[in-house]
Amino acid sequence: MSDFNILHNPRCSKSRQTLALLQENGIEPTIIEYLKTPPSEKELSAIIKNLGVSPRDVLRKKEAEYKEAGLDNQELTDKQVINLMVQYPKVIERPIVFNDKAAAVGRPPENVLNIIK
């Protein structure tokens, strides 16, 4: 199976719990601190496709940047939403564990067990 990556925020308890769960299961993912190094539009599009959801399903709607970026505009296309997510990475739900074939949001952390087993 492909190596795993995690879009990680070390200040987030769910992100830390998900990383610990991966490590307990023998997986040392590549840690991407997405607030420092946001994914590209292409990378984020691929992750969202592997999640099998719409971009809006992985938005943190309570972040100030959500409104600041105009993401509350329901007329934005998926491509526009993804572009704004790249520009405002704080609005990306965390953590997301992924490889080139699968992805899962670690809320709750146990969700990632579905893609690593």
Residue 44: which residues within 8 A CB-CB, separation 6 or more? 82, 85, 86, 92
> Which pLDDT band, with edges at 50, 70 and 90, does 96 fall under?
very high
List residues bridging with 108 in a β-sheet.
none
What is the secondary structure of 49-61 as a DSSP string?
HHHTS-GGGGB-T
Provide the mean pLDDT of the chain.
96
pLDDT for 110 beyond 70: yes
Q: What per-residue string of b and e applies to 63-97 under the rule 16 or more CB within 10 Å gives b?
A: eeebeebebeeeebeeeebbbbbbebbbbbbbbbb
Q: Which residue has the tokens 């690593």?
A: 116
pLDDT over 70, % of the chain: 98
Q: What is the mean pLDDT of residues 22-41?
A: 97
Query: Active-site residue numbers?
Result: 12
1 pLDDT exceeds 60?
no
Q: Which domains does the chain have, with CATH numbers?
A: 5-116 (3.40.30.10)
Question: Which tens digits make up the pLDDT trace of 38-89?
Answer: 999 999 999 999 999 999 999 999 999 999 999 999 999 999 999 999 999 9
pLDDT at site 2: 52
The predicted structure's pLDDT at residue 117: 80
Closest-CA residue to 68 (of 40, 50, 87): 87
In degrees and rounded to multiples of 5, residue 73 shows phi and psi of: -75, 105
